Copies of this chain bind each other. A is one copy, B any other.
Amino acid sequence: MRNVKKRDTRMYIIEKAIPMFAAGGYSGVSMRHISQAVGTSAAALYHHFPDKQKLYFDAMSHAFTDKAEGITEALEGSGTPSQRLERFVDSFTELMGEDPDFRALLQRELLEGDKTRLKLVAEQVFSRPFQAMTALAEELAPDCDAHMLAISMAGLVLFHFETAPVRRFLPGGRSEHNDPKNIARHVTKLLLKALGGS
């Protein structure tokens, strides 16, 4: 029963660290900052994690693993390819809209994740949902490179969120453009037209 307490504290630390790393990145958040948010001393963190790197890695893994399932579900269900595309775009947009920490961590890993960590995350977390995306892409447009089309599908959604903080200051920028429902509608329409979905 000793382990129960330890695991809970460990998970509590991870859950406090996730939004901090999402906002400040690895080098922008110190162990002292995290310990303060957790409500403990910095030394105590080292009882649960051997060093800062491991804490960061575990926080990231936890943040990512949960999310991959929801996306895979939307992709592997039944229905015509067009219906599944629409469902994927909807659920992916909703996910990005409701969990900014996940999105920020994803951006950060793409930007500065080291190679071994990226490989691990790609193979253990994103491989399955991405495979489902390429399968759908293949059905939708057999004449197109499925890998590239899958990336385009994800990028179309993600970029609207990534640019939200700057679009406010760009010509034609309005707050409706940040509404996940509008983003999903725009992206679905664009993709269905491009891929001649029925």
A193 contact from B109, B150, B156, B194, Cβ within 8 A: B194
How does the 8 Å CB contact mask read for A20-62 relative to B, with 1 for contact and 0 for none? 0001111110000000000000000000000000000000000
**Is A167's CB under 8 angstroms from B151's CB?**
yes
Q: For the complex, what is the distance from the CA of A158 to the CA of B111, rounded to whole Å?
A: 12
Q: Is the CB of A152 within 8 A of B187?
A: yes
Interface core residue of A113, A158, A165 (most chain B CB under 10 Å)? A165
A172 interfacial by beta-carbon distance below 8 Å = yes
In this complex, what residue of B is CB-closest to A157?
B155
Query: Chain B contacts of A110 at CB under 8 A?
Result: 107, 162-163, 165-166
A112 within 8 A of B: yes
B166 touches A126 (CB 8 A): yes
- A134 interface residue (CB < 8 Å to B): yes
At the interface with chain B, which of A2-10, A86-94, A115-123? A115-123
Please indicate the chain B residues that have their CB under 8 angstroms from the CB of A190 in the complex. 144, 149, 152, 194
Which residues on B sit within 8 Å (CB–CB) of A174? 147
Is the pair B165, A159 in contact by a Cβ cutoff of 8 Å?
A: no
Q: What 0/1 readout, one digit per residue, does chain A (134-162) give for beta carbons within 8 Å of chain B?
A: 10000000001111111110111011101
- 7 closest A-B pairs by CB: A155-B159, A194-B194, A122-B169, A147-B172, A27-B28, A193-B194, A27-B27
Given A109-B166, A152-B160, A152-B187, 18 additional A-B pairs, CB 8 A: A24-B112, A107-B162, A111-B111, A113-B165, A118-B165, A118-B169, A127-B170, A131-B171, A147-B167, A147-B170, A147-B174, A147-B177, A148-B186, A154-B159, A155-B156, A155-B158, A156-B156, A190-B194
